[in-house]
Structure 1
């Protein structure tokens, strides 16, 4: 039991903390110690919980519940051997105590032996009438094993026993979503709502399922019912705004996002969405104003900086776009999309070295799109680095072995380096794969296009 400020037992907590300050030992009954320890564990104050356990056991050395708290702390601190030994002692004293089984299962779970944990928790089910928590624990163990059907079944048992167990409801929907069972999730939620028609969480989750299926009309209706059930439900207004955006009802979307700003502290997500809606409505000043508010609210939100980057990029203000894309990259330097945008902006500014660096980074991050190889290679050609360009295109050929655009570029580069045999090989390959791309030679390598050998090859093979 956790203390609250309106609870008479709060006096026990005050008395206990006073005792710690004065070192004057006072007597508490075992239940008071249990409440004090439970409070500290819930608050994450492990050191104080350990003091309470020690003092509690000094006064009540035979208390099994207090010793179980000691087990809980051992498990938290990964002292699994000590926890196991103490549990074995307690089992001999009270073999019908379900909490002993729960802690034993917790130890197995910590050791990643989830099947053993499940077996023990199922044994504990036979020892108690209060089964909801045990169902939840079994469900979580099945989640650890990625056995979502079994996990779903046990979370459903939780919800059958307690319709207000929203944590179980969220876990059920998580399982449905992981299994891509959106239709089944909808059926389940509708069945649940028949029994509990004013459950705003269920309406909210139902709306999200319809949204996933792009059934925006039904999603909107579901979020409407969530708001009717609780008109302060921020999540429902946010989701409703997303649906309205999909329906291109941007004014209505702004209204819903704005409501969330009055119900709670402004969220960067809502501010960003409002900015996007204003941009769709061609209200550039308001869009930029909300994008600025977004990054002011959360300076580490890279999506906010990207929104501002794209805004300036579309307006052709590439210097500003470059400044803001660097902000986004500083927050998330592993994002391929950001590096591609970084490269494109630098290219427009004729900053070819920086642009090439950006494309190189996207390749290092595993983005092997053909256009990335082509863009980087063409930049290396402009920068006068033919050997690096060749190496880039040869790597690309491993991913795109019959691509004419790559072959013509390799041909041009080898002819530039007077390696005519290799140039001839790649030029013939290029013609074989797609003769229409032969203009690449003239466009990227005009001096090569004038060579007699190249002219003859093109004339003979085209």
Structure 2
């Protein structure tokens, strides 16, 4: 049975490590070697595990368990062919050893043949005395196959065997969440808590499910119970604060965020949330104070730079907003969100050339959001570059062929170019996609709103058979 990472086989391990430092040779039972090797593997000390395997096999050359541990290391190091050869030899010696099937399954999993891995793990289940580790491996294989229902069932079996197996409990809830079955997750967790009323992990997860369903009072209660079960549970305080923030209880939210800071080293995320709460309360100086702390604590957290930039943008202090977004870009010039925000600020400052460049950078870096294309087109129109506006909108249309916003804008741009044929085609397309958004065209291009040309197209569309 594998040791936990924190479990130390003290006497044999101390004796083994003493042996490594001297020229002495000590004899160990095969079981002692197994414990030592498991300890090293669980703590990521692979080279020491390999030394222990080598010495162990010198002292116990017929030990199948030590050879299987050697296979485990070979699989870890992707030496799959050597591992398979050794497994073939071991299968001849002991064909009823479930670990042989488990390691073969690991090899197939490494080769992305998860169906074959599942077959072998099911065979291991038939001959094994202890099933929990195999159920966990099956759950992971089904996750690789995106079969979340079967993955969930196997992780549930792990929890039913050991209700303190929180890793499997998390995986069960992950499967529920991926399938968006929040009701199922809530039922499962409530049932689990009937048997384990002081399990802070389950209360925490239950609170997150309620939060997903916007059942904020229920979420608050769940997080309170998680804190009662463990008053040092930072995650529960943080999630409780998020609920209070959603409910508009900003002062209480701040208290809970501050508790997370008092329990552990401050995090940029806590500073950011406290800053937002203070901004909601109108405490501008405190909001700035915490935003500054956010970017100081983690200069790579884009949410921090965007928060302080947005703070000054909302205050219409565009120069200060530009100062902070430029600082962010100097730290991470590959972040498209920074460039998009930079474009927005330059528009407010009427720096249209700079705004054009910023939006181009945002798109080049992979920001293809609908409003990016629309805002970029608006910028080049302000620069009287109508041809570029058409090209930008055509690119955007490739990403959003079913959205009406781009064709409505294209209709107006083509009219500016006196290309009534293309304009008519675009307006008909936009009306077909969503006639209720016609106001977008009329508001953006009021000079064409009352023309006979526009009225005729709208009238024809209304008369057209559906």
Partner of 1:231: 231
Tell me, in whole angstroms, the C-alpha distance in 2 between the residues paired with 1:49 and 1:325: 50
When structure 1 is superposed on structure 2, of 146-155 and 9-18 the one drifting more is 9-18
Partner of 1:406: 410
2:18 is aligned with 1:18: yes
Superposed, 1:12-411 pairs within 5 Å as 12-329=12-329, 337-364=337-364, 365=366, 367=368, 369=370, 371-383=371-383, 385-395=385-395, 399=401, 403-411=407-415
* Structure 2 SS opposite 1:126: helix
C-alpha distance 330-53 of structure 1, shift in aligned 2 (>3 A): farther
Does the CA-based 8 Å contact 1:240-1:256 persist in structure 2? yes
C-alpha distance 89-217 of structure 1, shift in aligned 2 (>3 A): same
Tell me, in whole angstroms, the C-alpha distance in 1 between the residues paired with 2:240 and 2:324: 30
Does the CA-based 8 Å contact 1:46-1:73 persist in structure 2? yes
Tell me, in whole angstroms, the C-alpha distance in 1 between the residues paired with 2:239 and 2:440: 49
**Higher Rg of the two aligned structures:** 1
Q: CA deviation at 1:359?
A: 2.2
C-alpha distance 439-116 of structure 1, shift in aligned 2 (>3 A): closer
Does the CA-based 8 Å contact 2:56-2:66 persist in structure 1? yes
User: Structure 1: which 5+ runs fail to align?
Assistant: 415-421, 445-454
Deviations 1:140-165 (A, max 9, x none): 11111111111111111111111111
TM-score (norm 1): 0.86
C-alpha distance 439-224 of structure 1, shift in aligned 2 (>3 A): closer
Does the CA-based 8 Å contact 1:381-1:389 persist in structure 2? yes
Does the CA-based 8 Å contact 1:302-1:331 persist in structure 2? no
The number of aligned residues is: 442
C-alpha distance 71-395 of structure 1, shift in aligned 2 (>3 A): closer
Tell me, in whole angstroms, the C-alpha distance in 1 between the residues paired with 2:107 and 2:175: 25
C-alpha distance 90-338 of structure 1, shift in aligned 2 (>3 A): same
Q: CA deviation at 1:25?
A: 3.0
User: Structure 2: which 5+ runs fail to align?
Assistant: 432-437, 459-466
Q: CA deviation at 1:179?
A: 0.8
Does the CA-based 8 Å contact 1:374-1:406 persist in structure 2? no
Deviations 1:199-220 (A, max 9, x none): 1111111111111000101111
Does the CA-based 8 Å contact 2:389-2:413 persist in structure 1? no
C-alpha distance 12-338 of structure 1, shift in aligned 2 (>3 A): same
Partner of 2:435: none
Q: CA deviation at 1:43?
A: 1.9
Q: CA deviation at 1:46?
A: 1.5
Tell me, in whole angstroms, the C-alpha distance in 2 between the residues paired with 1:70 and 1:230: 41
Q: CA deviation at 1:360?
A: 2.5
Tell me, in whole angstroms, the C-alpha distance in 1 between the residues paired with 2:231 and 2:334: 40
C-alpha distance 214-71 of structure 1, shift in aligned 2 (>3 A): same
Does the CA-based 8 Å contact 2:368-2:396 persist in structure 1? no
